[in-house]
Every structure is written in C-alpha cells, then in structure tokens.
Structure 1
Amino acid sequence: MSEVQAKQERMAAVVMSLGSIFIAAMEFLDRPAPGEFVEAEPDWYVTFQIGLHGVILLLLLFSLVRLSRMTADRPALRGPFTVMVLVGIAAAAYVVGRDLGLV
C-alpha cells in the first residue's frame, strides 16, 4: 500500500470515529426523559438514519480489519488507532441500537 493511500485511510478512520462519537453523544443528550411524550418521526427518515448509521458501523469495522495495513509504515500509531476505532465502533453500535429500538 502506498504511503498516500495509508494516510488517506487513517484520516478516514479518524473522521468516521470522531463522527460516530459525536452522533452518539448527541443521541445520548437528546434522549427523552422517562414518561415524556415523543413525537414520531417519518418512516423515510428513520429508514435513512438506520441505513446511514449502519454504513458508518460497517466502514468502521472495515477500518479495523485494514488497521495493520494502514499503520504498516508507522507502527507506533497501531495502538492509538485501534483504541480510537474500537471506541468509534462502540459509539456507532449504540446509535444503531437506538435507531432499532434496542437501547
């Protein structure tokens, strides 16, 4: 893998991880209080959200698989990137779980 491609994949992993953490934080802060009435969202919007958040989760899983190739030229980054991608995966899984009504 070329150095430029590895750098681009590392940048994509950073953006996806930070994005999923931000989305999960916003979902957590926006949760309704117990007993509060919540207005239903349109079906197309819910489907779009599930699809978008599911794709982010799949791309983060793909980044985890490609992690050794992304950090081959910089082995010192392997640990921090592993932690960052795993936290991003956990955040994306939380968001997908909220979208599906499991959490």
Structure 2
Amino acid sequence: MEVLVLALGLSTLMAIGGAMLSEGARHRAVAALAGAAFGVFGVAGLVGALLLVVVPAYRRALVRRSGRDPWRADAPVRARRAERVERDPAP
C-alpha cells in the first residue's frame, strides 16, 4: 500500500512538473512534449506500483485456495502432484 501511495504522489509531482515546464516554454510543441513526457512517466510509475501490489496478492490468493500458508516464501502456486485429481485412463 505504501508503494502505491508513493507512486501516486510521484506521478502527481511529475504531472505538475510537466505543467510547469509547459508554462515556461516558448513554443507550444515544446510545452506539449514536456507535458506528455512527464505524464507518461507518471502513469508508468503508477501502473508499475499497481503491479507490485496486485501480482503478489494474486499469488497469495492462489496459494490460499490450495490450502497452504500464503506467507511462506517457498509456497508453490500449483498443487503438489500427489494432491491432483487422478482421472481414469482412457479405455
């Protein structure tokens, strides 16, 4: 959660910096490029932070569904072979 808050703050600061650069620019093209570049970096940081939070949570949910302790570092995402459902061989 802290990573998400930091990324949101950083992306906001980058958007503000892009707006400040665009205000001080003499040409509109430079202003547009500065604003777009800072906006893209801000959004990329936010998406990266979301992935840092969402992917481990999803993996923990998969491990929890398999009946194991989700906070163990060596907990596999998939079930062990012995616990898999054995199907009847084809006739």
TM-score above 0.5: no
Higher RCO structure (Cα 8 Å, ≥6 apart): 1
Please, what TM-score do these two structures have when normalized by structure 1? 0.38
Higher Cα radius of gyration: 2
